[in-house]
Structure 1
Amino acid sequence: MQTKHFFSDPTHLVQTALHSLTLTNPSLAYDPDNKIIFRRPDAASKSKVAIVSGGGSGHEPAFAGLVGKGFLDASAAGTIFASPSAEQIRKAVMDCIDHEKGVLIIPMNYTGDVLNFGMATEKARAAGIKTEFFAINDDVGVGKRKGGKVGRRGIGGGILILKIVSALAEAGGSLEDVYRTAQLANKNIVSLGSSLEHVHIPGRPAQTDTIPHGEVEVGMGIHNEPGSHRVKFTLVDLVSTMLLQLLDHNDPDRAWITRKPEDDFVLLINNLGGVSSLELSGITDEVYRQLERDYNVKPVRVIQGTFLTSLNGLGFSISLLKLVDSGLGSGKSFLELLDAPAEAVGWSAPIRTETWNKHRSEAPVELKRTKLPEDNPSNVKLDAGILKKVLSTALKRVIAAEPEVTHYDTIVGDGDCGVGLKRGAEAVLKLLEDPASKITDDAVNAVNRIVNVVENTMDGTSGAIYAIFLNALAHGLRGQDKGTTTPATAEVWASALSYSLSALSKYTPAQPGDRTMLDALVPFCTQLQRAKDVHVAAKAAQEGTEATKGMKASLGRSVYVGGEEQWVGKIPDPGAYGLSVLLNGLAEAL
């Protein structure tokens, strides 16, 4: 588990995190003594029901990050994973908000929260404030038998309930309607989380129980509580298991909602804090794919993001809200309330209703067909058989040199240069060996087809440089087309390469002496232009590469790598070395 943090004092961390919300949302105020975030009086409507929530810290952006117009009116925060006190909540309800139209107090269903928020509810009622209490409980990770009298826990899906009741209150809904809607939404929502590891609280010893590599805890709670079971997994199997727990009508222990073919659902994918945006997006795609394939469910809204976390929990939760008639009339359906605008930094669902309605279609988009460079024939001709033979020999040399290039790049760079070159070489080699590749005697066409492969298989800086150079090479060759058959002689290639170098200089400041692949490329092109002999040019590339051993890097990743005294004079530039292998392979095959 990750035990490194920028803060070692959890109390200071909570205070500063809460205060930051007043910096990112100027309509909010902060009571540091009671850890309450609330809407400023001049920013909150006095003719609406107030919505108050909260809970332990460590679940950010919930709950304080959900305070703002169209969302919560106030939130009381406890220490990390601990409920705020009844007195904190009482102050939030009685001192920080306007309660003339009544208050809905709505925490998550955890014992400490229920007791403290419940006590504050009774204090508010005793003071004459019209108050209702509801504890959100949407988790299916703990079954009915195990949950017993405590019931379901409140997890990620609760954010949808908070959004619905808050939007209804903002729209002028009565306390009775807001309270009933909270119950109705809760009755139609299910959630389940899974995590690869427990979390570590700043300032505390590391937890000794860890989840073994290759396993996942299904149903893990948001306070490090264990889930229903641990399994070895692939993402596909994990999602399948989770959806079955969420939607299986035949499981009496977890069958919280029923499903008919005509039912519509909202899907929420919530990051527990430590999953990258890249992986979370992949998870969303897999969940949607399986819902459609296995359950014939095509969510009418897909909301993805970080809403209710467990510090830096390496997991996610899936929530499904069944859309039922809210009974509130026009403009106040569950969907319309979810789509209603909100000014809360923790709510990230920016797609408007109009956009969903207008563009929600599976019809494929017709792309316009722009004529590609390889579609335009040229008169610059070569022997396709010789081209394939020469290039194949050179490419095989590059593939064989991958361990050496990788070794060099591991010392002076980030270690990916050799793999990138090998990937590109293998893809071009596959093109050359494919009988259907359409490599003809048209030199421009041949280079353009190679460019297409390079662009789709080589990434990073070196991939971009190769792609730019080869695109320019194709253009340079086309410039040699005299309108009649033009043999691709060494002189023609030299002229085209000279043009490519000129084009490349527009996009990179690299020059010979900067310790880059240009230390091999420029000598090769220059000598080919002068001598019209590829063997002389290849030797110049090799000498240029050798010279990089004594150079200090001024461009590329090597600039940031320390310990130059260990490799200066010994290690050539990896990019130059890889290119030199290719160019010498070309020369040897001729």
Structure 2
Amino acid sequence: MSAKHFIHDPTHLVNTALLSISHTNPSVQCDIGNKIIYRKNGASQVSIVSGGGSGHEPSFASFVGAGLLSGAVAGTIFASPSAEQVRRCILHRVQKDKGVLVIVMNYTGDVLNFGMAVEKARAQGVEVDMVVVGDDAGVGRARGGKVGRRGIAGTVLVQKIAGALAAMGASLKDVTRIAQLVADNTVSIGSSLSHVHVPGRREAEDDELKEGQVEIGMGIHNEAGSERKSTDLPGLVKTMLSHCLDVADQDRSFSNITDKDEVVLLVNNLGGVSPLELSGITNEVVEQLAGSFKIKPVRILSGTFMTSLNGLGFSISLLRVADTGSVGASMLELLDAPAEASGWPAAISSATWAKRGEVRKIEAQVDEEEVQPSDLRVDYGQAKSMLTTALNRLIEAEPDVTRYDTIVGDGDCGIGLKRGAEAILKMLEKGKDTDDLLIFVNNIIQVVEVSMDGTSGAIYAIFLNALAHGLRQNAPSSPQPVTAGIWAKALESSLKALGKYTPAKPGDRTLMDALYPFVETLSQTESIGKAAAAAQEGSRGTKGMKASLGRTVYVGGEGFQEVPDPGAHGLAELLLGLSNGLKK
């Protein structure tokens, strides 16, 4: 639970956040006194009004715009707006000649305050309907009792489809019917790794989740879920989908979705999950739906729709596509219809969705390329053994490399080296035996180029390509085993080639502090053991050395005095592994 905020006054926070919306969408205005966002000169259509407590952005204020909401009313953080705020929105801020539909989530305060405003508007002669959305499968029938299920992110599907239908000119009766139809066919569940902190509020921390725990069914106002458990993402998604789809669970079987139905999937960020991680979560949900339930969604929406401030969690919503009858558009067409609202992130058209095909997952692979044979021969068994020993040593060193890089860099060096090492080991396991050294080296180069990224990956790839060129230049005229002398000459030419692309030299605190001593010592002694020892000594010498190149220059702090350069340490471990492998 992070208590760090840029704006600590919750009243100031809500007001300034609402004021910002008219800056990002010129078609809307802000009634800051009543915390209402509404369309300027809204079209003559059924108006869609929604809202609730603040803290769920972009819901609801940023969904105001053509094709979605006509007006949104905000309360303070996690608290319902007052009935008077809602009444003023209905009577004075949105078009009401064609009627008004109020869409509200099933929370007691929201239902009471919005409901009271609806009745007051009706008393003034305005035609108003209200749809209450309760889509949360985290609350079962027994626990929900008379209150029923809470409303969570599935609500945005109701708002979007109703808003699109209203924009088409449909009647209040039809818009209300379709909104209710969507609500009745939507089921959702959320999970979180942590409770959230409300700015300006002192929170009790004794109920905080333990490391590795996840709360399944957590509500969007910090309400407790149905259970806490320690699990990984696949296990978590399995549980969440089971709560939504298992018809045998009579307490939670709210929507009878089968593999015969067209289904819309919404994966929603509760606020604190990075877009990168949310994409990985979305992929897991899609694969489990297909694998375990034979459901392949016809629409997949993934992004930030309804948050719980900076909640470190996500929710899954499933909508069973139902027949809309004679309104002139299907649920999918209404969902796909454009909306000019700054907070609506889904922008894929029906025409594009219609072109979707089977998603092909192509495993990373190395295409075999034609390599001119050489006269350099190598004992493949010995070379494979040496390299395997070296790569395993590098993999074992990854935690140290990562720790060093976390102190002086951005923490990715160890993972990159490990990823490359594992890919080469996989190639050695499945590749064809060859006694041609150039073919053997080229196979390694192809793997490095595909599997390693970042600065280290580029340096290794350039160096190895130059090494292959140097070996070919120093190859004998007839088939002969490679010698230490040939290796030394080829390595020297590789260093010169590398110098064209990086100014790094020994003393700059880079992997060059290990590479240069290795090459120089091998040239002088033709002993890989002595050369590897020189690389190790060079790596150790970087401890306390101030960097003059690389990301460490502007990332690293005082920690450089205590640890060696991560890249140099990783390379030294690899070379020591080669030396040990030769002795076996």
TM-score, scaled relative to structure 1: 0.87
What is the correspondence of 1:463-478 to structure 2 with a 5 Å cutoff? 463-478=457-472
Which residue does the alignment assign to 1:199? 196
Which residue does the alignment assign to 2:152? 155
> 2 CA distance for matches of 1:314 and 1:565?
33
Query: CA deviation digits over 1:156-179, x for unaligned, max 9?
Result: 111100000000011111111111
Task: Give the match's secondary structure for 1:37.
Answer: strand
Q: 306-315 or 411-420: which moved more? A: 411-420
Q: 550-559 or 319-328: which moved more? A: 550-559
> 1 CA distance for matches of 2:59 and 2:398?
49
Which residue does the alignment assign to 2:556? 561
Maintained 8 Å contact 1:197/1:313: yes
Which residue does the alignment assign to 2:6? 6
CA apart distance, 1:465: 2.0
What is the correspondence of 1:80-479 to structure 2 with a 5 Å cutoff? 80-207=77-204, 208-330=206-328, 332-361=329-358, 364=360, 372-373=368-369, 375-385=370-380, 387-388=383-384, 391=387, 398=394, 409=405, 412-413=408-409, 417=413, 421=417, 424-425=420-421, 428=424, 434=429, 437-455=431-449, 458=452, 460-478=454-472
> 2 CA distance for matches of 1:10 and 1:179?
34
Task: Give the match's secondary structure for 1:359.
Answer: coil
AA aligned opposite 2:227:
H
AA aligned opposite 1:347:
W
Query: CA deviation digits over 1:193-232, x for unaligned, max 9?
Result: 2223222211111233223334333222211222233334
CA apart distance, 1:450: 2.0
Which residue does the alignment assign to 2:568? 576
Task: Give the match's secondary structure for 1:349.
Answer: coil
Q: 320-329 or 381-390: which moved more? A: 381-390
> 2 CA distance for matches of 1:565 and 1:317?
42
Query: CA deviation digits over 1:55-105, x for unaligned, max 9?
Result: 100111100111112111111110001111122222222222222222112
CA apart distance, 1:32: 1.6
Structure 2: where are the runs of 5+ without partners? none
Query: CA deviation digits over 1:526-553, x for unaligned, max 9?
Result: 6767888868866765665465456420
> 2 CA distance for matches of 1:288 and 1:85?
40
Maintained 8 Å contact 1:139/1:153: yes
AA aligned opposite 2:23:
L
AA aligned opposite 1:562:
G
Maintained 8 Å contact 2:258/2:295: no
CA apart distance, 1:252: 3.7
Maintained 8 Å contact 2:100/2:129: yes
Which residue does the alignment assign to 1:37? 37
Maintained 8 Å contact 1:53/1:74: yes
> 2 CA distance for matches of 1:62 and 1:376?
58
AA aligned opposite 1:97:
V
Maintained 8 Å contact 1:379/1:486: no
Query: CA deviation digits over 1:91-135, x for unaligned, max 9?
Result: 222222222222112121212111221222223223333222222
Maintained 8 Å contact 2:189/2:317: yes
CA apart distance, 1:329: 4.4
Pick closer, same or farther for the CA change 1:170–1:233 going to 2, 3 Å.
Answer: same
CA apart distance, 1:460: 4.4
CA apart distance, 1:355: 1.6
Q: 154-163 or 312-321: which moved more? A: 312-321
> 1 CA distance for matches of 2:397 and 2:101?
69
> 2 CA distance for matches of 1:398 and 1:370?
22
AA aligned opposite 2:112:
L
CA apart distance, 1:455: 4.4
Pick closer, same or farther for the CA change 1:11–1:580 going to 2, 3 Å.
Answer: same
Maintained 8 Å contact 1:378/1:481: no
Identity of aligned residues (%): 58
Pick closer, same or farther for the CA change 1:17–1:478 going to 2, 3 Å.
Answer: farther
Maintained 8 Å contact 1:274/1:312: yes
Task: Give the match's secondary structure for 1:266.
Answer: strand
> 2 CA distance for matches of 1:424 and 1:255?
47
Maintained 8 Å contact 1:268/1:304: yes
TM-score, scaled relative to structure 2: 0.88
Which residue does the alignment assign to 1:504? 498
CA apart distance, 1:525: 4.4
> 2 CA distance for matches of 1:306 and 1:353?
21
Maintained 8 Å contact 2:371/2:442: no
Which residue does the alignment assign to 1:65? 62
Structure 1: where are the runs of 5+ without partners? none
Maintained 8 Å contact 1:515/1:552: yes
Task: Give the match's secondary structure for 2:441.
Answer: helix
Task: Give the match's secondary structure for 1:134.
Answer: strand
Query: CA deviation digits over 1:424-461, x for unaligned, max 9?
Result: 556646755x4x53342222211122224444655543
Maintained 8 Å contact 1:188/1:323: yes
* Residues paired across the two proteins, number: 579
AA aligned opposite 2:13:
L
> 1 CA distance for matches of 2:446 and 2:2?
42
> 2 CA distance for matches of 1:573 and 1:556?
11
> 2 CA distance for matches of 1:294 and 1:520?
51
